[in-house]
């Protein structure tokens, strides 16, 4: 049963096999499969209070204050009123609780939005609108074009021929190219006949829910026959239906059992390294507090035993105390209460306020606002700000994060002439920008209005009927596997298996060679306004070995031609010897294109002899029907015909990066941040992007490619890479080898190792699966972390999270994951900091993230400005806070030796109450919210300033000990200088002022002025607010002191304000002010001297940079020129076709063809002619 959202009773058995029947809810309910509701929230109405309090009391300090409160309720030891602890504790718990409630409310809202999406479910023979959360395993649902897939479905039937369904899987693997799924023939017959679908009672047996996106095994039993099921028949949650009017599917996995949710990872409670350090320090402070209390308690026992007896007459022991040892025991707990201010509860309130304030700065930053889709940056959590200043590893998705996922036909080389650059009147090449004049394609009625090209000379060549140019674009319009869609006359939409192919066919379309329609036997192209139908005789499809594709077509004039496109390294081997000079010119252009990070492709053709072709096509038919060695025989035939090709030229496609990506990566690299790209995309594509955004470059010593297909292969490849980077790492004397030979259950941290140069590493998902196994993971970490850049391609969402977890496990480093799709959610949740980009792939990444914005380039501002400032402010705050509280509290300790260890407070009780709450709270908050050592411009210009945060230099255990020692030293000065000044001292009128009240007032005044001067020294950036807070706090102190110690207050509240007249009597004496001045000088002088000498004699790298900035401020630098980063490269980007086999076989079979389009007719085409005006398709 369920009580308050918590499950009790028999634990659900682990599912080993799934069994379900279509349209039979009663049968399926017995297995208690999850329904389609998802839940990412942590609490519900009943569990919020107990669970949230349980979480909050896991903070050691909160538990400590609860313990203090209990002590204060015991009259024998209570030295302060109970409300001094209750009020701040309740305040802290309430503030944190409200914040957690708001965060969880937003998660509830997000869950509700997804769970309440509508879908059509077949119930009792009718389609009914249901909410997603009410869908159950075994239901049959109907999806329409552009719908999100509701759950993991077995495809039953669709509107397309042979029940094909086209899907986009961007949410799952980051790829936007279409994939095709096909239903079983036996279920395809069901069509959209609701009667047949209702009667369908097939039984499915399949594997239990798992996270493998590319694998599914099961069987469908229908009318006694068994049919095999695989991944090609499954539609997974997170996909989007494209190009398909409708389809029906049977729900196999729902809600948390879907592969998308199985890959999404668990929501973990994230805490910063400073939080964890503070927990350790709080324990140290408790031990220190216990030690002080023990010393004072022992002192009290000895004093009471030795001296106290003589004071019994007027200072009797408390009721129930009958021995010196028992008195000492009670004094221990009394001192625990008095000295508790070494860890004041206001520390945690202040930390939350500082984090909240710094979160607002991120929300309000106009420089991180993206106006095109009205998206501001957003700090979705307020507890991780300072960790943004400590990032060492960034794990980034590629598609939609680094790139816009838009392919553009950018440049080309035709017959030895390069097109795409724009020149001015003097022949100088000019940079293309939004003001550059675009080519006017208005002469072409079928042109794509979104296509942009700037080189007018290419259009002129087309209009002048230049033969090589026409042949070039004819090839682009014929050699592909794109599917056209023309629902409205003249409005063409291309559905390509890869976005590259779509870009090339669109380019041909705009330059006058419009791919219009296709059947299994024909391709219809509108060439310069004239419709031509080519017979499609063969498609020599792409695969990863061939790296090329060809088509053989017969023109309307009867000419037989083979058109081929592919990677230059492959096609150059197949060219006719007469192309050598043209090949040299084209190679120059290819190098130039690749130098700009463009994806290049070579195109060639060959005229075929009729007799030879007839013989070849006969042998091709025999090979394609062979039972054995079919692939090898076809491959040989392809090799045979694709010889002696004539070179036409090359294309260059830009996989558009988001604005500022190369500059951002360059800046982050200077900040000593390592970037790993984790993508579901192909190796070729990932490497192309690596080069175009300056992650990889030709200056690197080597780029290792790990693609072993067995565990041993992967191990050898990783070791060979490490041997090249650092041969010494294999010696027995290597410290890491020594460290890991010692058996220890404690997880070991791998120290940073320096390679002998700059290297990159590329690893495929298949090899990564082996590398993440227990015995190989250490080898992977050591090798990968020596490289400047790591690219993991073809990885699943879960592998992304595993890679992040691996670095967290072996490296003492703060990690950040950034992505924009559902496939990035698990890595975003796993990393210390998760950043979501609100891009084209939905909002799942943003909803799971800690921070979000619209463009990758804002990451450098988030880290180098906001992260760095937050870290420095938090460190300064903690250093100052611990210092001022040690200085404040330890005066009590020294006073104990002069007050018979009686737990007498050295200050007025009202001062103790107001010290952290009023007198010192605002100045430190002012510094922690407004301080900056340099402004945002200098932070971005000098990324090296970020490094101290990574090394945790500004606040660590050593820094804490220094603060502690400074506090102890100050407390000695603040006790003994006023004590010495007061000892046997007379006023100017001959009256004594050596009384307790005068001493207390003098000590607290010294303390407050000293800590105010100290915060002045710590402040780097003065604002009106800082000045107001510091001077205001001092003014408030004197105002409250004179008011509370006045005659009027004494007369009204006699018991509460016993220090009557002390302020005016003490503070009017010059000796008091002289003592205050002496105290300030002795407390501050060592600090100033130490800082000055350290900066002069042993400056840190940060000090050196700050000195450079100080000098540069005297002569402001010129504004940095806006430049486009280019790279020189001898490596050409091979064309990145789809990683799968192409659609060639599918097209030639005709299974995906609809009836012929009425627009695809022979003859001259004019959109306005009556002959072609049709009412419908």
* Sheet architecture: strand order including 126-131: 126-131, 118-123, 140-144, 246-253, 152-158, 234-235
1170 in catalytic set: no
DSSP assignment of 468-514: HHHHHHHHHHHSS--EEEEEETTEEEEE-SSHHHHHHHHHHHHTTEE
Tell me the two tokens of residue 506. Answer: 């669109």
Please answer whether residues 1004 and 908 qualify as being in contact, where contact means their C-beta atoms are separated by less than 8 angstroms: yes
Q: Which of 152, 173, 365, 397 is catalytic?
A: 397
Exposed e or buried b per residue across 122-157, where buried means at least 16 C-beta atoms within 10 angstroms of its C-beta: beeeebeebbbbebbbbbbbbbeeebbbbbbbbbbb
Please answer whether residues 608 and 561 qualify as being in contact, where contact means their C-beta atoms are separated by less than 8 angstroms: yes
- CA distances from residue 686 to 15, 397, 597, 665, 904 in whole angstroms, order as listed: 37, 10, 12, 15, 71
Please answer whether residues 194 and 122 qualify as being in contact, where contact means their C-beta atoms are separated by less than 8 angstroms: yes
Q: What is the 3-state secondary structure (H, E, C) of 529-583?
A: CEEEEEEEEEEECCCCCCCEEEEEEECCCCCEEEEEEECHHHHHHHECHHHHHHH
Q: Could you tell me the end-to-end alpha-carbon distance of the chain, in angstroms, rounded to an integer? A: 58
> How far is 395 from 827, CA to CA, in rounded Å?
8
> How far is 963 from 884, CA to CA, in rounded Å?
9
C-alpha neighbours within 13 Å on the C-beta side of residue 380? 22
Exposed e or buried b per residue across 700-739, where buried means at least 16 C-beta atoms within 10 angstroms of its C-beta: eeebbbbebeeeeebbebbeebbebbbeebeeeeeeeeee
Residue 797 burial (CB < 10 Å; 0-12/13-18/19+)? buried
Q: How many residues does the chain have?
A: 1177
Beta strands of 401-454 (E only): which ranges? 403-414, 417-419, 422-423, 429-430
Please answer whether residues 974 and 1010 qualify as being in contact, where contact means their C-beta atoms are separated by less than 8 angstroms: yes
> How far is 1152 from 1143, CA to CA, in rounded Å?
10
Residue 1166 burial (CB < 10 Å; 0-12/13-18/19+)? exposed
Query: What number of other Cβ atoms are within 10 A of residue 890's Cβ?
Result: 22
Handedness of CA 383, 385, 387, 393 (dihedral sign): positive
- Which residues are annotated as catalytic? 397
């Amino acid at each position: 049963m369920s009580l308050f959202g918590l499950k009790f009773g028999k634990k659900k058995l682990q599912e080993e096999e799934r069994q379900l029947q279509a349209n039979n809810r009663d049968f399926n309910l017995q297995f208690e499969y999850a329904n389609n509701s998802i839940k990412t929230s942590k609490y519900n109405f009943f569990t919020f209070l107990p669970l949230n309090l349980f979480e909050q009391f896991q903070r050691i300090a909160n538990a400590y204050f609860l313990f203090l409160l209990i002590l204060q309720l015991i009259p024998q030891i209570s030295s302060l009123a109970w409300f001094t602890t209750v009020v701040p504790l309740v305040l802290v718990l309430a503030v944190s609780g409200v914040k957690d409630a708001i965060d969880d409310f937003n998660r509830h809202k997000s869950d509700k939005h997804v769970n309440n999406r509508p879908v059509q479910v077949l119930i009792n023979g009718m389609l009914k609108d249901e909410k997603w959360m009410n869908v159950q395993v075994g239901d049959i649902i109907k999806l329409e074009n552009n719908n999100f897939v509701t759950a993991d479905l077995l495809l039953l039937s669709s509107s397309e021929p042979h029940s094909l369904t086209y899907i986009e899987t961007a949410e799952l693997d980051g790829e936007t190219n279409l994939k095709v799924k096909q239903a079983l023939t036996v279920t395809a017959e069901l069509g959209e006949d609701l009667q047949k679908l209702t009667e369908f009672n097939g039984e499915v047996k399949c594997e239990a829910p798992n996270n493998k996106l590319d694998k599914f095994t099961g069987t469908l039993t229908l009318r006694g026959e068994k049919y095999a099921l695989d991944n090609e028949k499954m539609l997974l949650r997170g996909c989007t239906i494209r190009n398909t009017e409708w389809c029906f599917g049977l729900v196999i996995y729902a809600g948390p059992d879907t592969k998308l949710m199985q890959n999404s990872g668990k929501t973990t409670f994230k805490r910063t390294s400073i939080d964890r350090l503070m927990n350790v320090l709080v324990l140290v402070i408790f031990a220190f507090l216990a030690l002080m209390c023990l010393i004072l308690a022992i002192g009290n026992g000895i004093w009471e035993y030795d001296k106290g007896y003589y004071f019994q007459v007027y200072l009797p022991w408390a009721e129930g105390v009958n021995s010196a040892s028992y008195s000492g025991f009670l004094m221990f707990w009394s001192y625990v209460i008095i000295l508790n201010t070494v860890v004041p509860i206001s520390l945690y309130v202040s930390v939350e306020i500082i984090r909240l304030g710094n979160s607002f700065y991120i929300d309000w930053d106009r420089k991180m606002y993206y106006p095109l889709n009205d998206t501001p940056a957003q700090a979705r959590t307020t507890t991780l700000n300072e960790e943004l200043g400590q990032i060492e590893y960034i794990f980034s998705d590629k598609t939609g994060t680094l790139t816009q996922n838009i392919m553009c036909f950018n440049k080309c080389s035709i017959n030895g002439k390069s097109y795409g650059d724009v020149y001015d009147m003097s022949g100088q090449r000019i940079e293309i920008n939004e003001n550059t004049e675009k080519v006017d394609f208005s002469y072409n009625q079928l042109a794509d209005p979104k296509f942009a090209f700037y080189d007018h000379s290419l259009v002129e060549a087309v209009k002048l009927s230049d033969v090589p140019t026409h042949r070039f674009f004819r090839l682009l319009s014929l050699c592909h596997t794109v599917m056209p869609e023309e629902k409205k006359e003249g409005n063409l939409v291309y559905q390509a298996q890869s976005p590259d192919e779509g870009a090339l066919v669109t380019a041909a379309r705009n330059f006058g060679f419009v791919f219009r329609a296709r059947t299994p036997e024909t391709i219809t192209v509108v060439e310069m306004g004239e419709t031509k139908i080519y017979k499609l005789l063969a498609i020599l499809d792409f695969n990863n070995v061939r790296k090329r594709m060809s088509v053989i077509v017969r023109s309307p004039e009867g000419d037989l031609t083979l058109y081929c496109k592919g990677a230059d390294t492959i096609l150059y081997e197949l060219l006719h010897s007469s192309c050598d000079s043209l090949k040299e010119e084209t190679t120059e252009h290819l190098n130039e294109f690749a130098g700009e990070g463009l994806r290049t492709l070579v195109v060639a053709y060959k005229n075929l002899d009729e007799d030879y072709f007839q013989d070849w096509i006969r042998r091709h038919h025999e090979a394609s029907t062979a039972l054995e060695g079919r692939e090898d025989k076809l491959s040989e035939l392809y090799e045979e015909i694709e010889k002696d090709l004539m070179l036409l030229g090359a294309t260059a496609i830009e996989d558009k990066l988001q604005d500022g990506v190369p500059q951002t990566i360059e800046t982050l690299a200077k900040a000593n941040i390592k970037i790993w790209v984790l993508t579901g995309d192909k190796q070729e594509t990932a490497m192309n992007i690596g080069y175009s955004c300056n992650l990889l470059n030709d200056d690197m010593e080597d780029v290792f490619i790990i693609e072993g297909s067995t565990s041993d292969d992967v191990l050898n490849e990783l070791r060979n890479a490490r041997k090249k980077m650092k041969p010494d790492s294999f010696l027995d004397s290597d410290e890491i080898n020594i460290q890991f030979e010692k058996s220890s259950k404690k997880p070991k941290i791998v120290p940073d190792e320096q390679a002998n140069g700059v290297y990159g590493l590329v690893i495929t998902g298949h090899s990564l699966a082996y590398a993440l196994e227990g015995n190989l993971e250490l080898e992977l970490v050591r090798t990968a972390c020596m490289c400047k850049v790591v690219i993991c391609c073809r990885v699943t969402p879960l592998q992304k999270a595993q890679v992040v977890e691996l670095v967290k496990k072996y490296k003492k480093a703060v990690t950040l994951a950034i992505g924009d799709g559902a496939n990035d959610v698990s890595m975003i949740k796993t990393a210390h900091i998760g950043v979501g980009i609100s891009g084209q792939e939905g909002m799942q990444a943003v909803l799971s993230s800690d921070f979000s914005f619209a463009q990758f380039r804002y990451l450098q501002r988030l880290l180098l400005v906001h992260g760095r400032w937050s870290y420095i402010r938090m460190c300064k705050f903690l250093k100052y806070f611990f210092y001022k509280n040690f200085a404040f509290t330890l005066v009590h300790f020294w006073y104990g030796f002069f007050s018979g260890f009686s737990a007498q407070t050295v200050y007025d009780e009202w001062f103790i109450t107001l010290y952290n709450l009023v007198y010192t709270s605002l100045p430190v908050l002012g510094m922690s919210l407004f301080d900056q050592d340099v402004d945002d411009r200098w932070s971005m210009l000098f990324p090296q300033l970020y490094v101290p945060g990574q090394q945790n230099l500004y606040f660590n255990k050593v820094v804490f000990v220094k603060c502690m020692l400074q506090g102890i030293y100050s407390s000695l000065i603040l006790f003994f200088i006023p004590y010495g000044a007061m000892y046997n001292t007379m006023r100017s009128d001959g009256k004594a002022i050596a009384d307790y009240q005068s001493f207390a007032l003098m000590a607290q005044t010294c303390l407050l002025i000293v800590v105010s001067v100290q915060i002045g020294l710590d402040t780097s950036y003065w604002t009106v607010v800082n000045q107001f807070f510091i001077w205001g706090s001092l003014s408030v102190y004197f105002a409250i002191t004179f008011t509370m110690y006045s005659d009027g207050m004494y007369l009204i509240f006699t018991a509460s304000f016993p220090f009557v007249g002390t302020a005016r009597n003490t503070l009017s004496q010059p000796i008091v002010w002289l003592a205050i001045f002496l105290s300030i000088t002795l407390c501050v002088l060592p600090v100033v001297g130490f800082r000055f000498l350290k900066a002069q004699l042993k400056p840190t790298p940060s000090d050196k940079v700050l000195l450079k900035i100080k000098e540069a401020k005297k002569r402001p630098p010129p504004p940095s020129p806006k430049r486009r980063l280019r790279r020189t490269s001898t490596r050409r980007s091979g064309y990145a076709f789809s990683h799968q086999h192409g659609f060639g076989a599918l097209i030639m079979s005709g299974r995906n063809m609809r009836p012929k389009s009425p627009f695809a007719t022979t003859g001259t085409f004019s959109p306005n002619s009556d002959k072609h005006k049709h009412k419908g398709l």
